[in-house]
Structure 1
Amino acid sequence: MVLRFLCVVLSLALLSLGGTIFTDPVQVTKNYDFIVVGGGTAGAVVATRLSESPSVSILVIEAGVADNGTDSNLIYTPLLAGSGIGTILDWNYTTTSQSGLNGRALDFPRGFVVGGSSCINSMIYSRGPSDEYNRLATVSGDSGWSWLSLLPYIYKNEKHTPPWNNRNTFGEYNPLVHGYGPLLTGLTPTVFEHDKLVIKTTVEYPALYPYNLDLNSGNGLGFGWLQTSVGHSVRSTSASTYLRPALNTRGNIDLLLHTQVIKLVETATNTFKAVQVAQNAAAPSYQFTASKEVIVSAGTVGTPQLLMLSGIGPAEQLAEVGIESVIDLPDVGNNLQDQIILTLQWEVNGKTMFPFYNDPAAFAAALAQYDANKTGIAAGNPVVNTIGFMRLPSDSPLLAGGDPAAGPNAAHYQLAFLGTFYPNPGQTSPTTGNWMSIAIVVQSPTSRGSISLTSSNAFVHPSIDPEYFTTAFDIGTAIQAVKTAKAFVATSPWADFIIAPFADTAALTTDAEIEAYIRTYSTTLNHPTSTAKISQNSDEGGVVGPHLLVKGASGLRIVDASILPSMVAGYPQAEVYIIAERAADLIKSTWGLL
């Protein structure tokens, strides 16, 4: 008994020392129980939760940069959300030419930083409908993925916080559906006239546009207030709320930066408990071994690329780039889904953020105020405060071939209300006036594309082909969403507010004109999923089973958005956090750590 007590005391003492952050693989000389590939949204959660068990050691390997470096203001200042795209914080991927977008290739941002895309996204925290999780349970054959079963993990992940100015948010969210977790979320500190009109429209037209008190309650339909991953005036990321606190206080978790895992190494027949790493194509490689598991959390692009580089994937495709097949898994890299975003714009009779964004002095003053005391317009999400999720009519011809949504509680499309002129790529903005925009998103697309290798060199980007708008359902739903957006602001609450539509918006009078606009201007919402999708163990298809273990392999698990069976009807960030929370417990249970 005394010896056992002393062991516990020693373990806790070691934990209190804090972990080590390495910047070169040559510095890593320890042995680890778990290796987590990728310190992004999912990887940071899994690694942090595993580190709660003092008897195990964890190494997180991140290809990108630190989240608290010289560009950290691009991450953590709410006003600058999205500014990290196209910078050192971004993998800077590009899609192939998209036939559904008139041959355009799109930039395809993914986070190249500790915290991953939770550091460069638009900060929206939207769990999606309960149907989404119930579908995950059905597809996997594991009831533990159902909404009700996941509620403890939902509460464990997130905590709602008031805006910096303590604005009264009564009636804008339901405190009962929020938890006590490290990830901080909240509502806008600044309400604009168009936000009030959105809510007024739900009051006057409840049958068409019902109000939803809290879109994170599991009720996936209706219009309400948008919640973002902002708490105490700062963006909340998986790095700031999970990984860095763990590294600061626990000696059993380390982080290796600026280092890419280039191959999963077979340590026994179909067993992958080692990884090969390098810092660039010309640098020496190193190998690290996990005594228990390798957990791949490299994301919807990086995860299938790494699997295929390691001989796990479609055998015929691997042979084309000279890689010998170890495990033939045809679905690796396939089933890629993503969402598009498209905006319509109106000039309005009321104050919006448009003049602010066009005034460099005002913008600089807002950042100076934020730097001084974390207050002001820069301390919250000022652009999108209200949002709506809608379904097609039940008799829509677009549903004749089946409903791609997760269930009757899941949206087909979304309308998001932006308090500025938000131009589509290639569109010219006006220079004066006050403007608002409505963004439309196809929430449950049916188009599926692929990630495929173009080289056996891990430092060569893979081919990314989302195949946007290659189905009648997707383009038809987008057309309906545009019509609904125009009808929404044609209702009586908007009569004195709308001055006129922007010329491009006004020109959309026929389905053909709307379709042409969609194909000309749509771009990615940066929500790729499903390239290593989950299925039941008995299914021939799929990449991982219900516990996220790679089919046909030992010692290898995937935890990120790539395992989702289909595009989510909310925003992937929230669902990935929740999946990672449960995945950590599944891993703990496997190794007797719960």
Structure 2
Amino acid sequence: MFLYLIVVAGLASLGLCATYGSIKDVPKLEWDFIIVGGGTAGSVLANRLTENPKFKVLVIEAGPTNENATASIIPGLGLTQLAMTRYDWNFTTVPQKGLNNRVVTLQRGHILGGTSSVNGMVYSRGASSDYDRFANVTGDPGWGWDALQQYIKKNEKFENPPDNHDIKGEFDPAVHSFTGKVPVTLPGFLNPAVDSATIQASKELGGDFAFNLDMNSGKPLGLAWEQNTAGHDGTRSSAATSYLDSQTRSRNNLHIVTDTRISRLLKTPGTKGLTIRTVEIPSPDSSDPVILTASKEVILSGGTIGTPHILLHSGIGDENDLKTLNVPTVLHNPSVGRNFSDHTVFVITFGIAPGSIDLGPWVNLLTDSALQANALDIWNKNRTGPYVQYTPTDHIAWTRLSKDSPTLAIGDPSSGPNAGHIELIFGANSGVYAAIMLFVAPASRGSVTIGSNNPFEDPLIDPAFYTAEFDLPAAREGVQKALNFSKAPVWQNVITGFVGPLANATTDAEVDDVIRNGSECGLHPVGTAAMSPKDASWGVVDPDLLVKHVSGLRIVDASIMPFIPSGHTQVPVYLIAERAADMIKNTWQ
């Protein structure tokens, strides 16, 4: 065994054996940092920390490697084909009162690269005021929009779309980076007739739908061309492909173990105060767990679900709840697992009069298996065709409730007048025109809790959708905005009205019921380990992302956001991780 470890360590030092499928194969080295979670944030940290050759870093990822999941690199397939597989945590919520007591799924990436390897790939930064609110609430100006621009430059690599169409007038190059890690592009397989009509509707309506050259300028309101985390080569840009590329994985100071879950964090023996730099991992071939300790920090990057789940089973949480479950309390902090916030998604469909507009030959791609096989064949041959993007949607409108809306009298949970309440993603498929509505300014707050002291039992996830007074009437106004868009002159004799349950809903109560029955998780959960000012009595981490009242433990993932952004959460997580990497380097260099 001793000789085996010498061989393994020797190969690792040559950069030939840095990824392992079992904890028993990991060499016994002295780790400076142990990163728990190789998802979106964890992948960034692994890359940036090992830029310093003196840092030895171990990444522990619960899921399998991304290298064997072909669908994860095909933009058109990842979100759907990998759902409810080994590449998904397969989470479900508790029954949701606001959704007529339905249980809904909450897809999370159980794979290297995390949810960035399986998501819908929309590249959306949100509003500048989202980040400025982070800065104001935490008292740290470094979380503000202007301060984070340096990390946008480090993260984004804007590229021409796969079809090489002229993108002048579809984005503003002044607000983008062309030198970062993650390839980003515009739609690379267009539907000319539908795209033209959508832009024409924007011109005719103005107001909520006035054309916005670039939704990622910090001022997203209006209708803009969608941007996605895919590259010119027609493949998905995930944290794994961008930050854990072959060159990075060959570094002799980076080691990654997949298919490995930790059971809990432990107090580190021989240290003063509450120091937590130790992780416990069940041994695959022994009753004794594997215990690993970092000399500098353990960095928890388990995500909005995984991070509080691990903290609670480690005895960090509300002591009354932990006592009930026979989990010894290590640190009483009632904020752990609270403040859960997610967007909801609700698909609005409109009928299209037959022959009124050219929908193109791929209109039934989502339902026609022959077209799907053809699209896959095209993608395999030259990385082009309809599968270079997730859905046939090319435009997004970000809108706010009307200034005279009675709903706003309840209170505005958004971050400011440039932040949207409603997101509408437009496109045509299967003979209908669709507006995918995300309610992006929820006031509702839920929780992630545990139901037993078994660390491998799924957590109890309660998003508490539509439980705040503001949320449901705001979502109803979002449906009205989609209807307003469908009535633009360009759609006359093209769009025939609602299709599905909304067609028969004539009262507010009936529309509300349809929304309750049709809404799903927006897959943007945040907030369960929120950052707060250093001296605050609430929150889980300080603005430097170190866990309050603990030494040696830092959290870097979406759970630290105190508020949900008015945009998709992928970009904010990248920026959080990039800044956190600099914080950690500055602490230990």
TM-score relative to the length of structure 1? 0.92
2:341 alignment counterpart: 337
SS in 1 for 2:245: helix
Q: How does 1:402-421 map to 2 (within 5 A)?
A: 402-421=411-430
Q: Is the 8 A contact 1:18 1:246 kept in 2?
A: no
**How many Å separate the matches in 1 of 2:456 and 2:287?**
11
- CA shift at 1:345, angstroms? 1.1
Instruction: Choose 208-217 or 57-66, whichever is displaced more.
Output: 208-217
SS in 2 for 1:261: coil
2:7 alignment counterpart: none
**How many Å separate the matches in 2 of 1:566 and 1:578?**
15
1:455 alignment counterpart: 452
Q: Is the 8 A contact 1:451 1:465 kept in 2?
A: yes
Q: How does 1:101-140 map to 2 (within 5 A)?
A: 101-140=99-138
2:277 alignment counterpart: 273
The 1:304–1:191 alpha-carbon spacing in structure 2 relative to 1, beyond 3 Å, is same
Q: How does 1:49-448 map to 2 (within 5 A)?
A: 49-69=48-68, 72-82=69-79, 83-179=81-177, 180-192=179-191, 193-231=193-231, 232-267=233-268, 268=271, 269-278=273-282, 284-348=288-352, 349-350=356-357, 351=359, 353-421=362-430, 434-448=431-445
SS in 2 for 1:260: coil
Unaligned segments of structure 1, at least 5 residues: 1-12, 422-433
The 1:279–1:418 alpha-carbon spacing in structure 2 relative to 1, beyond 3 Å, is farther
1:424 alignment counterpart: none
**How many Å separate the matches in 2 of 1:278 and 1:111?**
22
For each residue in 1:525-574, what CA deviation from the matched residue of structure 2 results, as whole angstroms up to 9, or x when unmatched?
11111000010011100000110000010000000000001111010001
SS in 2 for 1:387: strand
How many aligned positions are there?
566
Instruction: Choose 537-546 or 240-249, whichever is displaced more.
Output: 240-249
- CA shift at 1:500, angstroms? 4.2
Q: Is the 8 A contact 1:48 1:246 kept in 2?
A: no
**How many Å separate the matches in 1 of 2:208 and 2:260?**
51
1:586 alignment counterpart: 583
SS in 2 for 1:345: strand
Amino acid at match of 1:224: A
Counting aligned pairs with the same residue, the percent is 39
For each residue in 1:290-315, what CA deviation from the matched residue of structure 2 results, as whole angstroms up to 9, or x when unmatched?
00000000000000011111111111
Unaligned segments of structure 2, at least 5 residues: 1-10
The 1:393–1:501 alpha-carbon spacing in structure 2 relative to 1, beyond 3 Å, is closer
For each residue in 1:444-480, what CA deviation from the matched residue of structure 2 results, as whole angstroms up to 9, or x when unmatched?
1011111101111111001101111112211011100
Instruction: Choose 480-489 or 14-23, whichever is displaced more.
Output: 14-23
- CA shift at 1:356, angstroms? 2.6
**How many Å separate the matches in 2 of 1:443 and 1:554?**
35
Q: CA RMSD in A?
A: 1.8
Q: Is the 8 A contact 2:63 2:260 kept in 1?
A: yes
Q: Is the 8 A contact 2:410 2:469 kept in 1?
A: no
1:47 alignment counterpart: 46
SS in 1 for 2:130: helix
- CA shift at 1:272, angstroms? 0.4
The 1:477–1:85 alpha-carbon spacing in structure 2 relative to 1, beyond 3 Å, is same
Instruction: Choose 20-29 or 52-61, whichever is displaced more.
Output: 20-29
Residue 565 of structure 1 pairs with residue 557 of structure 2:
no
Q: How does 1:8-27 map to 2 (within 5 A)?
A: 17=15, 20-27=18-25
- CA shift at 1:244, angstroms? 3.2
- CA shift at 1:246, angstroms? 5.0
**How many Å separate the matches in 2 of 1:235 and 1:196?**
26
Q: Is the 8 A contact 1:19 1:253 kept in 2?
A: no
2:471 alignment counterpart: 474
Q: Is the 8 A contact 2:502 2:511 kept in 1?
A: no
- CA shift at 1:81, angstroms? 3.1
**How many Å separate the matches in 1 of 2:143 and 2:287?**
41
**How many Å separate the matches in 2 of 1:281 and 1:27?**
12
The 1:336–1:444 alpha-carbon spacing in structure 2 relative to 1, beyond 3 Å, is same
SS in 2 for 1:419: strand
1:464 alignment counterpart: 461
Residue 491 of structure 1 pairs with residue 488 of structure 2:
yes
**How many Å separate the matches in 2 of 1:277 and 1:195?**
52
- CA shift at 1:91, angstroms? 0.5
Q: Is the 8 A contact 1:15 1:54 kept in 2?
A: no
Amino acid at match of 1:132: D
Q: Which runs of 4+ in 1 moved over 6 A?
A: 13-16, 279-283
Amino acid at match of 1:559: V
Q: How does 1:27-38 map to 2 (within 5 A)?
A: 27-28=25-26, 29-38=28-37
TM-score relative to the length of structure 2? 0.93
**How many Å separate the matches in 1 of 2:441 and 2:513?**
21
Q: Is the 8 A contact 2:77 2:390 kept in 1?
A: no
**How many Å separate the matches in 1 of 2:201 and 2:507?**
25
**How many Å separate the matches in 2 of 1:390 and 1:50?**
39
Q: Is the 8 A contact 1:304 1:531 kept in 2?
A: yes
**How many Å separate the matches in 2 of 1:80 and 1:279?**
35
**How many Å separate the matches in 1 of 2:339 and 2:157?**
33
- CA shift at 1:318, angstroms? 0.8
- CA shift at 1:111, angstroms? 0.6
For each residue in 1:209-253, what CA deviation from the matched residue of structure 2 results, as whole angstroms up to 9, or x when unmatched?
221111111112111011011001000000011023354331110
For each residue in 1:112-155, what CA deviation from the matched residue of structure 2 results, as whole angstroms up to 9, or x when unmatched?
00000001111111011101110111111100111110001011
The 1:281–1:143 alpha-carbon spacing in structure 2 relative to 1, beyond 3 Å, is farther
SS in 2 for 1:316: helix
The 1:150–1:473 alpha-carbon spacing in structure 2 relative to 1, beyond 3 Å, is same
The 1:279–1:522 alpha-carbon spacing in structure 2 relative to 1, beyond 3 Å, is farther
1:525 alignment counterpart: 522
Equivalent residue for 1:509, pick from 506, 527, 532: 506
